[in-house]
Amino acid sequence: MNRFECTPFRPHPLVVGGHLQTVLGACISGISSPREISVRRRVTLDDGDCLMLIDDLPVSDWQPENDVVLLVHGLGGSSESSYMRRIATKFRDLGTRTFRINLRGCGEGKGLSKNLYHAGRTVDLHRTIEEVRRLCPGSKVSLGGFSLGAGIVLKWLGEFPDQALQMVERAIAVNPPVDLAACTSAIGKKAFGFYDRYFSKLLYRQLQQSFDGNLDQIQFPPPKKIIDFDNTITAPRCGFESAEHYYETCSAAPYVSEILVPTMILSAADDPLIPVQILEDLERPENVGLHIAESGGHLGYFGRGSTDLDRWWMDWRVLEWLKNPETKDQPEVLVAASG
């Protein structure tokens, strides 16, 4: 069987270490092309909520039955997250139709949902894939998930393995928090709690803007930790007994062994949010590969000059995996850490 060999990631000499890579990835868009012209499409869910799906048609003529890609953003992000737009633009340049999802209440989906998004809402992804297949009958659909979105992708693939095999061609999960409890604990310990405070404030602000503009800040004061937000907001509003129950129920790790779709997991050893050990300990079938770069942080991967057309190493690996014809028929992937 074929092996998917990643071009090794070599960080830019001025952006060394997981923290710098993470911060740069979050603060610099890397988008130089004009804003794309896209179609906004609503996806209605079974409970009456709606998602906003961004349909990016290539500049060149896209023909029915051509390949399509669906991208799923991370925690606190949206279809407008820089990595989502960069990668969608690269796919468009290759003539691939790309869909960027906004999870419940995120981005342009603000005000369309009453219920919160979370790591376990795989039914939302399932419904979105159904809509993409309806819009593109006969097309091969591939999935790209990032951070929380990567965890949702992996959980869906393993939760509905037979249906997933019929619905999607390939998938890639970048920096997935496959063990929510372990990741929440790690976030609280890194950078003197900076990430914990940042994401908890981000979630609280998103809650106010998208779901509850009249939030009682006396009853629900702004949290300082993600676990506090999940205990006071996520768990009671989404039917979980506690944050711990949510983490146990919605983590992707127990489902990875059931995945049948050719899938690549991509992460970095110095990701400050995702402990590398939880990925190395995954029980993976032979069709699920794991590539751990020595550096790259969390959705950073800003490198020195290489054979890629720009410095965003992650983008090109996503394109290679989802578009590489040489690995279509023989999906085995097993790659050691890059040097």
Instruction: Give the tens place of pLDDT for each residue, 292-302.
Output: 999 999 999 99
Residue 4's pLDDT is 63
- Which are the contacts of 213, defined by CB distance < 8 A and separation ≥ 6? none
- With cut-offs at 50, 70 and 90, classify the pLDDT of residue 327: very low
Q: Provide the token pair at 298.
A: 């969390």
The length of the chain, given as a count of residues: 339
How far is residue 316's CA from residue 231's CA, in Å, rounded to a whole number? 38
Distance, CA of 90 to CA of 201 (rounded, Å): 32
CA dihedral 263, 77, 70, 268 (to 10 degrees): -20
Q: Which residues pair with 288 in a beta bridge?
A: 263
Each residue of 195-212: pLDDT tens digit?
A: 999 999 999 988 888 887
pLDDT digits (tens, 9 = 90+) for 137-196: 999 999 999 999 999 999 999 999 999 999 999 999 999 999 999 999 999 998 879 999
Whether pLDDT at 334 is above 70: no
Average pLDDT, the chain: 90
Amino acid at 138: G
Average pLDDT of the residues in 25-33: 80
DSSP-derived secondary structure letter, 114: S
- Res. 288: pLDDT tops 90: yes
Cβ neighbours of 39 (radius 10 Å): 11
Is residue 7 scored above 50 in pLDDT? Answer: yes
Residue 3 banded pLDDT, cuts 50, 70, 90: low
If you count DSSP H runs as helices and E runs as strands, how many of each does the chain have, helices first?
12, 8
Q: Please report, to the nearest 10 degrees, the dihedral formed by the alpha carbons of residues 298, 303, 307, 308 taken in order.
A: 50
* pLDDT higher than 90, residue 129: yes
Question: What is the CA angle 211-217-222, rounded to 5?
Answer: 85
**Is residue 25 within 8 Å of 272, Cβ to Cβ?**
no
- Got the DSSP string for 120-138? T-HHHHHHHHHHHHHHSTT
In the block, tokens 């819009």 appear at 135
Residue 316, H or E segment: helix 313-323
pLDDT mean over 45-69: 90
| Side chain identity, residue 207 | L
The confidence score (pLDDT) of residue 289 equals 96
Judge residue 86's burial from the number of C-beta atoms within 10 Å of its C-beta, 0-12 exposed, 13-18 middle, 19 or more buried: buried
Among 22-36, 264-278, 296-310, the least confident range: 22-36
Whether the predicted pLDDT of 1 surpasses 80:
no
pLDDT at 32: 67
pLDDT for res 135: 95
- Distance in angstroms (rounded) separating the CA atoms of residues 133 and 166: 11
Report the pLDDT averaged over residues 226-243. Answer: 96
2: confidence class by pLDDT, cuts 50, 70, 90 = very low
pLDDT of residue 328: 42
Kindly state the average pLDDT of the residues 123-140.
96
What is the spatial distance between Cα 313 and Cα 32, in angstroms, rounded to a whole number?
16
- Say if residue 337's pLDDT is above 60: no
Q: Could you give the domains of the chain?
A: 18-179+251-327 (3.40.50.1820), 180-250 (no CATH)
- CB under 8 Å to 236, separation ≥6 — which residues? none
- Residues 99-127: tens digit of each pLDDT: 999 999 999 999 999 999 999 999 999 99
Above pLDDT 70, what percent of the chain?
91
- Confidence class for position 335, pLDDT limits 50, 70, 90: very low
- The reported pTM is 0.93
- Residue 331 pLDDT > 60, yes or no? no
